[in-house]
Chain A
Amino acid sequence: MTVTAPRPATPPEIGGLGHSVRRKEDDRFIQGAGRYLDDIVLPGMLHMAIVRSPVAHARIRSIDTSAAEAIDGVVAVITGDALAAHGLAWMPTLSGDTQAVLATDKVRYQGQEVAAVIATDPYVARDAATLVFVDYEELPAITNPQQSLAEGAVLIRDEKEGQTDNVAYEWETGDREGTDRAFASADLVVSLETHYPRSHPAPLETCGALADIDPATGQATIYLTSQAPHAHRTLFALVAGLPEEKIRIIAPDIGGGFGNKVPIYPGYVVATAASLLLGKPVKWVESRSENLISTGFARDYHMRGELALSSDGKILAMRASILSDQGAFYADAQPSKFRAGLFHICTGSYDIPYAHVTAKGAYTNKAPGGVAYRCSFRVTEASYLIERLVDNAAWKLGMDPAEFRRQNFIRKDQFPYRSATGFVYDSGDYHAAMDEALRLSDYYGWRSRQAEGPTEDGKLIGIGLASFTEVVGAGHSKEYDIAGLKMFDSAELRIHPTGKAILKLGVKSQGQGHETTFAQIVAEELGIPFDQIKVVEGDTDNTPYGLGTYASRSTPVGGAATAMASRKIRDKARKIAAHLLEAAEEDLEWEPGRFTVRGTDQSVTIQDIAFAAYTNPPDGEEAGLEAVHYYDPPNMTYPFGTYVVVVEVDPADGTWKVLNMTAVDDCGVRINPMIVAGQITGGLTEGFAKANMQWITFDEQGNCIGSNFLDYLVPTAYETPKFTLGATVTPSPHHPLGAKGVGESATVGSPAAYVNAVLDALRRRGHEVDNIDMPVLPHRVWGAVNGVEAKP
C-alpha cells in the first residue's frame, strides 16, 4: 500500500515519526515480566471477595454475616450499613448520578455488590462469601427501556428524591423545524429501527484494586486498573473524603481497557475502605463473571433513524431518536454537557443540511456502565446508524451503495466543515479513502462475481461498505469536561545531562504502546533516539495531571502535549546552543538532534546542549532542561475511512463467513505505522465480534446471559477474518503533528460494513430485508431467508 505521508525526517536509529520501530515495552511482556495489578504482593496483604445479588430487583430484608465471620482466616465482613456509617454507601457516577457501593435498601441488578469479605487468603474469602446470607424480597425486574417507561412500571430509583419515573435523562440537539421542513419536501424517506445490543469491553485482565493505607500516616497508595489515574485520584478524594495529597494512585501495567477501566467501581471503594478500617493492604481482583455482570457495559441503544431523500439520490435531512438502556444507575463515562455522548456526530461522512436528534435514557434492572467501548462516547452507535441507513437508502433508490456515498460525501473543499449538529470537522478526503478501498478490495470485481449468482455449494455472496467519520481527542475545555474536570492533557519532559530523557504523561497506556509512540514524538522533535527516552505513566505522584486514555485521546491530546513540551525544550536549547556556539539565536538552524550556525559547519548536538544545561548554562538562564505542557486542543480530530466486506452466507444454516475485509483508514499522520496497523486489526476484530457473536442479553427475570466466556462470545483466531489494510493520510490541520488518533476507528466503523454485507447477500437474492439486529446470529439470518422472525 502507498501512503502519501511525508518521508520520515529522522533516521531509523532516532526513530521519529513514520518509523515502525519495535515497541520498547515488549521486552518485559514477552518474558512474563509485565507487572499487572494481580502480580503485586504487599506484606500482610488481605484478600477481598464480594457477595453479589443473585436476583435483579429485590428489597433487602436482612443480611446475616455471622457464619462467614466464624470462618478461620476471615478478618471482616463489610456491609452497606457499615459503609453508610462513614457516608460511603453511595458514590457519584461519571454522569452526575449516584450509585450504590454496597446495597443497603434494594438490589437493582443481578450481580450488584451487597457485602464484602476480607480474609487472609483468597480461597478463604470466597468460602466465607458463600456463607453470607441475604434475605431478599423480590420485586418485578425491568429488563428493557420500553418496559421501564411503560405506565405503571415499578420505580427502580425509589431512593432518589424527586424521581417519579424511570427516566434517567432526556436530551436533544439539531434543528427540529428545519429538519421537519426537509422531510416534508422529500421524495423518499428511508427509515431504520435497530438495537445496538449491550456489549462489554471484556479486557483480558479484569478490574481490581490493591489499597494500602498506612494507619500511622494516613498515606493511601492505591494500585488500580485505571485508564485515568489522575481523575480517579480526584474522585477518590471527593468520594472518600481523603486529602488528595495523601492519595497516590498507581496504575501498573494494564491488561487491556477499552473503556472498561474508566469508571470507579464499588470494589475499588470497598477495598480502600477496608484497608482504612483494618490498617492493612487489601487486594480485590474481579473474576471474569464479576467483570461481565457488574462493570461498565457498552451500547444498548435502541435507535430509530430516518433519511429524507431526493429522487436523484441526495440526502436532504436526517432524524434520529434514541432510547438508551442505562441500567440501574446512569453512569456513562462521557463529557458532562452531552447526555448522549457525541452521538450527534450521526450525520457521519455526509453533507446533510438538516438534522435533529433526540435521546432518552431509561433505568432498568441491569448493570450500570455506558462506557465508551473502544469508542469515543457513543460515536460507534452513531456511525452504525448512519452507515446502515445509507445502505438502505441506496438499495431503495436502486443505486450502488458506493455511488450513493460518493454523491453525498462532504467534499474535500468543504473542510473545515460545520455539521448540522454543530461539529466542526477538521479535515478529510472521503472520496480518496473510498476509492482506495474500492481498488484494494476489488469491489467491482466482487460485484461482477456476485452478479453471476451463488457459489457452487449454494452460498450467497454479499458486499458491504461503511465510510465512517469518527470524532476523537476530547476535547477543548470550553465544551468538554468529565465531572467538572476539563479534558486537557499533559506532558512533562526532562532531558538528563547525558542527553537521555524522561517523559511523564497524564494519559495511561493499556496496550497502545505509549512507551514507544510518545518517545518517538520526542525523538522527532528533539532528535534524541527514541530508545533513550523513558516514558512514565500511571503514577499520580510522579506524572502531571491528565484526564487519561480513552476516546482515542492519547495521541490527539497527550501526544500534542508531548510535542509542545518538546518544542519548549527546543526553544530553550536554542538559547543554550547560541551560548555554546557564541552565535545569535536567529543564526541557528535546527535539524533533528542539532543546531548549526547557518552557513558554517559549527554545530552542537542536543546531547551537548543537555550537558551544558546542567554544567554551563548561559547567564540569566535557569539551569536544567525541562518543560511541562498542558495541552488544550483547539478542536477534536476527525479520523475517517472506508471499509469493504465481502461475505458468503449459507442460506441453509444462516452462517456467514468473511471472504474479504479491506480497511482503508485515514488517521492523519502516522507516528508508528506498525502500531497503527495493530490498532486497526484489533478494532476490526472487535467490530466483527459485535456484528457476529458478541452481546449480553437478559432473560425475563433479569438474569444476565453473558456472564462468562462460555456465553459472552469473543472471537478466537479461527473465526476472526483476515484483513487487508490500506491508508490515506490527511493531516489534522490543528494538531501539532497532524495526527488524529486511531485506537477506535475500526471498532466504530466496521460493524456496519459486516452487517451491510450480509444484508446485501440476502437482498440481491430476492429476500427483502431492511434490518437484522446485531449480532447477526445464524438463526436470525435463517429467519430472514425464510421470512420468519427468529428470536432472540
Chain B
Amino acid sequence: MYPAPFEYSAPTTLEEATALLAELGDEGRVLAGGQSLLPMMKLRLATPGHLVDINRIPGLDRIEHVDGHLQIGALVRHADVVDSQEIADASPLMASTAPWVADPLVRNRGTVCGSVAHCDPEGDWNSVMLALGAEVVAASRHGERVIPIEDFVVDYFTNSLQAGEMVTAVRIPRGDAGTAGKYLKLERKVGDYATVGVATHLRIDGGTIVEAGIGLTSVGPRNIKAREAEAMLVGEAPSSELFAEAARAAALASDPASDVRGPADYKRAVVEAYVRRGLEACVRQISEEG
C-alpha cells in the first residue's frame, strides 16, 4: 500500500521532459496515467528512482488528424476514446475496444499510449494497434522518430524505446469507407485481464476484402499479429468458410500458456471462435452501413 520513496518532476514542456529522461537514464520513468505503474509501486514490484510526470505538458491530450493518420496523444485517456466521435469514425475497432479496458475509474486516468508502451501481453490496446498497423511516435532529446507497432512491441513487458525516449503519441491509419472492427474479450469479470482477446479489422471494397487485421491478446509472451490469417483474407470475398479457415490459422498463430484462466487448448479454441465471430461482426457492420 505504501510506495518506496522516489524523486518527482513535473516538466511543462516536452523538451524539459526529454532532457530529464536523458539525464536520468534507467532511474527515470515516465508517469502518465499511472494506472499500471502505481499499483506496482504500491506492491513495491516497481521502485523507480525518479518519476517524470508528463501530465503538465500541454498538447499531449489531443486526438487529431496528422498526415492521413489519426494521432492519439500520450495523455489521451481511455475514457476520451470511449467518448470520441473522431475515433468512432476513424476506427470502429478502437471504439469497440475502449469500453473493455479496465473499469470507468481507471479509464478516466489511464492512457492509451501508456498501455501501448507497457507492452503487457494481457493489455488490449497492442492487439488493436497490431491489427490496425499503427505507428508509435517517440521523442527524445535528439528529436522524434516513428516506429511501426510491430517493431515497437518486442516481448513480454518490453518495447523498443531507447534510453531517454518516451512515447508522445500513437497513430492509426484513417479508416476509409467500408471499414469495420470488433474487439472481443473473454474476461472472468470486469477489470480482469483478458483470458483471450481478439481484435479484428476489415475493410471491404466492392465485395472484396482489401484490408484485414487480426491481433491477439493474452495468448503469448506478447500481443500477436496473426499474419497468415490476415493474408488469407485479403483479396477474397467474405464467406463463412473463409472466416473459419482464417480463424484456424489465427488459433495456430497463438501461443497461449496453461494457467488459472484455462489450459492452452481451451484458449486456442476461444481464439478460433472469437476470430470467426469478430470477422462476422465486421461484415455485419459494413452491410449495416450500406
A/B touching: CB–CB < 8 A: yes
Q: Smallest CB-CB separation from A709: which chain B residue?
A: B191
Asked if A792 CB lies within 8 Å of chain B CBs, one says yes
How near does chain B come to A719, taking the closest CB pair, in angstroms?
A: 5
Asked if B24 CB lies within 8 Å of chain A CBs, one says no
Task: Kindly list chain B residues whose C-beta atoms are within 8 Å of the C-beta of A786.
Answer: 269
Asked if B23 CB lies within 8 Å of chain A CBs, one says no
Residue in contact with A779 in the complex, picked from B5, B44, B189, B266, CB distance below 8 Å: B266
Known: A653-B270, A693-B189. A777 touches B262 (CB 8 A): yes
Known: A126-B1, A130-B44, A652-B270. A790 touches B262 (CB 8 A): yes
How near does chain A come to B109, taking the closest CB pair, in angstroms?
A: 17
Contact call B2/A790, Cβ cutoff below 8 A: no
Task: Kindly list chain A residues whose C-beta atoms are within 8 Å of the C-beta of B103.
Answer: 716
Contact with B along A687-715 (1 / 0, CB 8 A): 00000010001000000010010110111
Asked if A782 CB lies within 8 Å of chain B CBs, one says yes
Task: Kindly list chain A residues whose C-beta atoms are within 8 Å of the C-beta of B261.
Answer: 779
Asked if B58 CB lies within 8 Å of chain A CBs, one says no
Residue in contact with B266 in the complex, picked from A287, A711, A713, A790, CB distance below 8 Å: A790
Asked if B146 CB lies within 8 Å of chain A CBs, one says no
Overall SS of chain A's interface: loop
Query: How far apart sit A715 and B192, CA to CA, in the bound complex (Å)?
Result: 11
How near does chain B come to A52, taking the closest CB pair, in angstroms?
A: 13
How near does chain B come to A400, taking the closest CB pair, in angstroms?
A: 33
Give the number of residues in A that approach B within 8 Å (Cβ atoms): 33
Asked if A408 CB lies within 8 Å of chain B CBs, one says no
Q: Smallest CB-CB separation from A130: which chain B residue?
A: B44
8 Å CB interface, B258-285 against A: 260-263, 265-266, 269-270, 273-274
Query: How far apart sit A715 and B191, CA to CA, in the bound complex (Å)?
Result: 10
Task: Kindly list chain B residues whose C-beta atoms are within 8 Å of the C-beta of A719.
Answer: 189-190
Contact call A127/B4, Cβ cutoff below 8 A: yes
Contact call B43/A289, Cβ cutoff below 8 A: yes
Task: Kindly list chain B residues whose C-beta atoms are within 8 Å of the C-beta of A203.
Answer: none
Query: How far apart sit A122 and B42, CA to CA, in the bound complex (Å)?
Result: 13
Known: A705-B260, A777-B262, A788-B265. A713 touches B186 (CB 8 A): no
Contact call A791/B266, Cβ cutoff below 8 A: no
Q: Smallest CB-CB separation from A716: which chain B residue?
A: B190
Task: Kindly list chain B residues whose C-beta atoms are within 8 Å of the C-beta of A654.
Answer: 266
How near does chain B come to A778, taking the closest CB pair, in angstroms?
A: 7
Contact call A790/B192, Cβ cutoff below 8 A: no
Query: How far apart sit A127 and B41, CA to CA, in the bound complex (Å)?
Result: 12
Query: How far apart sit A697 and B261, CA to CA, in the bound complex (Å)?
Result: 12
Contact call A655/B190, Cβ cutoff below 8 A: no
Contact call B2/A792, Cβ cutoff below 8 A: no
Task: Kindly list chain B residues whose C-beta atoms are within 8 Å of the C-beta of A653.
Answer: 186, 196, 269-270, 273-274
Task: Kindly list chain B residues whose C-beta atoms are within 8 Å of the C-beta of A655.
Answer: 186
Contact call B2/A783, Cβ cutoff below 8 A: no
How near does chain A come to B92, taking the closest CB pair, in angstroms?
A: 21
How near does chain B come to A712, taking the closest CB pair, in angstroms?
A: 11
Query: How far apart sit A708 and B2, CA to CA, in the bound complex (Å)?
Result: 15
8 Å CB interface, A735-782 against B: 777-779, 782
Contact with A along B190-201 (1 / 0, CB 8 A): 111101100000
Known: A122-B2, A652-B273. A718 touches B190 (CB 8 A): yes
Q: Could you write out 12 A-B pairs with CB less than 8 Å apart?
A: A122-B1, A652-B273, A654-B266, A693-B189, A713-B188, A777-B188, A779-B195, A779-B262, A782-B266, A782-B270, A790-B262, A790-B266
Question: Which residues of A are in contact with B by a Cβ distance under 8 Å?
Answer: 122-123, 126-127, 130, 287, 289, 652-655, 693, 697, 705, 708, 710-711, 713-716, 718-719, 777-779, 782-783, 786, 788, 790-792
Could you list 14 further interchain pairs (A-B, Cβ under 8 angstroms) beyond the known A653-B186, A716-B191, A718-B189?
Answer: A652-B273, A653-B270, A655-B186, A697-B260, A710-B192, A710-B193, A711-B260, A714-B189, A716-B190, A779-B195, A779-B261, A779-B262, A782-B269, A791-B263
Cβ-closest 3 pairs across A and B:
A779-B262, A652-B273, A126-B2
